[in-house]
Copies of this chain bind each other. A is one copy, B any other.
Amino acid sequence: MSKAWAGNFFEDFHLGQRLRHATPRTATEGERALYLALTGSRFALASSDEFARASGLPRAPLDDLLVFHLAFGRTVPDLSLNAVANLGYAELVFGQPVYPGDTLATESEVIGLKQASAGDSGIVWVRSRATNQRGEAVLSWVRWVLLRKRDKAALAPDTVVPALTARVAPQSLSLPAGLSFDRYDLALAGSPHRWGDYAVGETIDHRDGMTLEEAEHQLATRLYQNTARVHFDQVLQQESRFGRRLVYGGHVISLARALSFNGLGNAQRILAINAGTHANPCFAGDTLYAWSEVLETVPLAGRSDAGLLRLRTLALKDRPASSFPGGDPRPGPDGKRDPAVLLDLDYWVALPA
């Protein structure tokens, strides 16, 4: 029997199963520089040690999404090598900031199982937790994946579908210890718009576009040690329905977030991701644009220096938002999503009040 790992299949999972994912990772200033080079992100808190210190942190934390990708990358060999589809994620909450030199490890627990009616696959729900070298939570999230079965005759498990919230309760969210916007410098941050300047229903076309290259998404995905073959193996993908390597969906999220700086430049910290849909596949050569809508504005409990926005950000392919009717890329009355929409992300961010 070969020692090469072919990934877990649906019948390899059972409720309550715990997985310690391999390859802990020390994230450094090298990861930070590469993340900036791959995304062009400009949020001041993650760009400048001095800005971070003026905000009460010991130095610039790594970008929240870089932390997510590193944590997520650990889980791929165990969870999604045999994925037919990555169906969704929810209840993603950031904890302690991650600083250069911190080491991340990720564990997961199976919290739901449901065999598909055809009997050849099934959905696995897992809750994953990434911790730093002190065991502090830096990120937790739920993800569900449709996995092939190795043996169609394997018995179906009892169906357990976990109850998940569609929206992380803003009352449960807080800024990292020490972080304060009391001495916030709007000019250095690059945007004059404070939390109170945003209104529910407001929409923002982030204007800038970014054309993606194969080398770029491959560098990003390898940086995260994400091993899903669809991103790297053109010979394999030639036989797929796309005939192309697929861009890791997380890279699309990062580019949309980086583009969103233009209009949301003070959204220094992502606190939680409520939901995300990869509506269409993304390929090298695509040009990405981003557009956001303010879904909620919520004060941050017990603080006057910061407030929360619940945002919906769409990533668009080869068409800026301005090319949609009314400049609005949301689905029309018929509910149909335009094929140019790659990503529909629902998340909470903190801004200075």
Contacts and interface: CB of A to CB of B under 8 A. Distances in A.
Interface of A: 2-6, 20, 22-26, 28-34, 36-40, 42-44, 47-51, 59-60, 77, 100-101, 103, 105, 133, 187-191, 193, 197-198, 204-211, 213-216, 218-223, 225, 227, 229, 232-236, 245, 262-265, 285, 287, 318-320
Given A23-B190, A24-B44, A189-B22, A263 B3 contact: yes
Interface of A (DSSP majority class): mixed
A101 B24 CA distance: 21
Instruction: State how many copies of this chain the complex holds.
Output: 3
Given A28-B29, A262-B5, A38 B234 contact: no
Given A40-B225, A214-B215, A234-B285, 16 more contacts: A4-B205, A4-B262, A4-B263, A5-B191, A22-B42, A23-B188, A25-B48, A28-B100, A30-B34, A33-B223, A36-B222, A37-B220, A40-B221, A42-B225, A50-B133, A211-B235
Contacts of A28: 29-30, 32-33, 100
A215 to B, nearest CB: 4
A233 B220 contact: no
Contacts of A318: 235
Given A24-B188, A215-B215, A219-B37, A49 B101 contact: yes
Given A188-B105, A232-B211, A287-B234, A47 B25 contact: yes
Given A30-B34, A236-B209, A287-B233, A40 B133 contact: no
A71 to B, nearest CB: 14
Contact of A20 (B188, B197, B198, B232): B188
A218 to B, nearest CB: 7
A198 B105 CA distance: 28
A175 B213 CA distance: 41
Contacts of A43: 23
B208 A42 contact: no
Contact of A2 (B50, B103, B263): B263
Q: Which 6 A/B pairs are nearest by Cβ-Cβ distance?
A: A30-B33, A22-B190, A209-B233, A40-B222, A28-B29, A215-B215
Contacts of A263: 2-5
